[in-house]
């Protein structure tokens, strides 16, 4: 086979792989890290919104909208 091309046709049955997992299973620790990350991002977003809302206080007592 050295120096020659080789080709083959494969036929895979997708139903043969239906219940098998080829992805690393993630544990509870991974879930906790993800939730903590989302929580930190939401806190940062909330603080930014509060800061921006404070900058937009109406000066004449009226509404900005």
Within a domain: 62: no
CA 37 from chain center: how many Å?
A: 10
Q: What's the pLDDT at 9?
A: 82
Range of the domain at 42: 22-55
Domain count, the chain: 1
- What pLDDT sits at residue 15? 75
Output the CA torsion sign for 39, 43, 49, 52.
negative
The pair of structure tokens assigned to 20 is 């098998």
Q: What is the pLDDT of residues 36-62, one digit of tens each?
A: 999 999 999 999 999 999 887 666 655
pLDDT digits (tens, 9 = 90+) for 12-31: 777 777 677 666 677 888 88
Query: Residue 41 falls within a domain, yes or no?
Result: yes
Q: Classify residue 31: in a domain, yes or no.
A: yes
| 65 in any annotated domain | no
């Amino acid at each position: 086979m050295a120096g020659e091309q080789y080709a083959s046709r494969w036929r895979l049955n997708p139903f043969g792989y239906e219940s098998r997992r080829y992805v690393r299973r993630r544990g509870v620790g991974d879930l906790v890290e993800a939730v903590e990350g989302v929580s930190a991002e939401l806190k940062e977003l909330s603080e930014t919104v509060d800061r921006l809302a404070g900058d937009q206080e109406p000066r004449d007592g009226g509404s900005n909208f």
